[in-house]
Amino acid sequence: MLRQDDVVIFMTDPPMLAIWLHPWLRWRKTRYFHWVQDVYPEIAATLTGHRWLNVMRPLRNLSWRRAAACVALDRDMVEVIRSAGVPANKIHLIPNWAPAGLTPPAPDAIRSLRHAWNLSDKFVALYSGNLGRVHDLLSIIDAAETLRDHPDIRFVFIGHGAQLSRLQRETTARGLHNVRFFPPQPRVNLATTLGLGDVHFVTLRPGCEGFVFPSKLIGICAIGRPVVVIAPPASGLASQVKTHGLGISVANGDAHAIGDAILRLKSDVGLREQMGAMGRGYAHMHNLNQATATWQQLLYGQPALASDHVSRHPDN
């Protein structure tokens, strides 16, 4: 069905598809782009321990280099793509955006949900989303253990994923009554469920930086909540939070520092409001219209509202 003037954009679901198809696209003289949401095979090799998966990297690198351009989500991904030999003028940084229509929820809706979930008088530290293996979630359980003597604080998980069973077992084994688990909620209620949290966790396992970026950060910012980021201090994720004043960054495994961050934010309403306001500004800066305009220029050379080309904004 492809014509010579068509454009193909490869995502990373399914991963590695381009290594088999790019020779055919070049033969058809069809332009193709890589939109790198996750970096394979590195992320699979890191999570499974099967280093042999990295034998596919040379073919993947070749497909990157022959593409019209590669689009990354953050500066760490940019460096991974650059290290594969992709020329700088072919690398573009276009962050993801918050889900459409996601704005601060009505206070009445939050109060109603808190009442239904028996959280009315609690300070809620929330992790909402996929409980996948790229996320450092055990550090949250460790932090909950350090704050078990604070009856007004609840650690809440909303979501499913590969780590759910282990987290539930750890919570039971340690006798932690300050940790609650809830299943994924309907998309239509996303603003309210995110609004449930007084503060949110965004996490990334060591070794995964550069291969994945938790885009949940932008949704949290859109509803005006501060974040506690648990990630390698030198990662792009930690840098974004510190640079833009979105919350507090803590190193992986430092349960006491995570607990201290929660206590600090709990005691300082003004700080939470300030970080929430900075978050809303951050979400406004990384919105769908700007991303679409940047893609428009990248694909068709038409003027964009804002460009996130890596040569001009390497730290976005």
Question: How many domains does the chain contain in total?
Answer: 2
Which amino acid is present at 191?
A
pLDDT top residue among 16 and 201 = 201
307 domain residue, yes or no: no
Task: Identify the weakest region by mean pLDDT among 76-85, 178-187, 305-314.
Answer: 305-314
114 domain residue, yes or no: yes
- 258 with 290, same domain: the answer is no
List the Cα angle 34/207/66 in 5-degree steps.
20
**The domain containing residue 216 runs over which residues?**
107-285
Decide if 56 contacts 16 (C-beta within 8 A): yes
How much is the pLDDT for 94?
95
pLDDT at 312 over 70: no
List the one residue out of 145, 158, 247, 160 whose CA is nearest residue 195: 158
How far lies 308's CA from each of 60, 100, 215, 223, in Å?
24, 20, 16, 23
- 160 with 279, same domain: the answer is yes
Residues 6+ apart with CB under 8 A from 15: 38, 40, 41, 44
Q: What is the token pair recorded at 115?
A: 């009442």
How far apart are the two ends of the chain, measured CA to CA in Å?
37
- 69 with 170, same domain: the answer is no
315 domain residue, yes or no: no
Q: What is the mean pLDDT of the segment spanning 72-81?
A: 96
- 190 with 237, same domain: the answer is yes
pLDDT at 313 over 60: no
How much is the pLDDT for 86?
97
- 83 with 16, same domain: the answer is yes
**Burial class of residue 223 (count of CB atoms within 10 Å of its CB; 0-12, 13-18, 19+):** buried
Which amino acid is present at 85?
G
- 113 with 82, same domain: the answer is no
Q: Within its chain, how far is the Cα of 63 from the centroid? A: 25
Question: With bands split at pLDDT 50, 70 and 90, how would you rate the model's confidence at 52?
Answer: very high
Other Cβ atoms closer than 10 A to 204: 24
pLDDT at 246 over 60: yes
Give whichever of 255-259, 284-288, 296-300 has the largest mean pLDDT: 255-259
- 154 with 215, same domain: the answer is yes
- 246 with 111, same domain: the answer is yes
pLDDT at 306 over 80: no
Phi, psi of 140 (to 5 degrees): -70, -40
Question: With bands split at pLDDT 50, 70 and 90, how would you rate the model's confidence at 302?
Answer: low
Residues 6+ apart with CB under 8 A from 242: 249
311 domain residue, yes or no: no
How much is the pLDDT for 78?
96
Chain segment 125-160, per-residue pLDDT in tens: 999 999 999 999 999 999 999 999 999 999 999 999
pLDDT at 307 over 60: no
- 169 with 264, same domain: the answer is yes
Chain segment 89-117, per-residue pLDDT in tens: 999 999 999 988 899 999 999 999 999 99
136 domain residue, yes or no: yes
83 domain residue, yes or no: yes
Q: What is the mean pLDDT of the segment spanning 36-65?
A: 94
Q: What is the mean pLDDT of the segment spanning 251-278?
A: 98
Give the CATH number of the domain where residue 14 resides.
Answer: 3.40.50.2000
Question: With bands split at pLDDT 50, 70 and 90, how would you rate the model's confidence at 316?
Answer: very low
Q: What is the token pair recorded at 315?
A: 């730290």
Query: What percentage of residues in the chain have a pLDDT greater than 70?
Result: 95
- Per the prediction, the chain carries an average pLDDT of 92
57 domain residue, yes or no: yes
44 domain residue, yes or no: yes
Question: With bands split at pLDDT 50, 70 and 90, how would you rate the model's confidence at 1?
Answer: confident
- 125 with 199, same domain: the answer is yes
Q: What is the token pair recorded at 122?
A: 């609690």
Q: Within its chain, how far is the Cα of 230 from the centroid? A: 12
How much is the pLDDT for 22?
86
How much is the pLDDT for 311?
35
- 157 with 181, same domain: the answer is yes
- 67 with 171, same domain: the answer is no
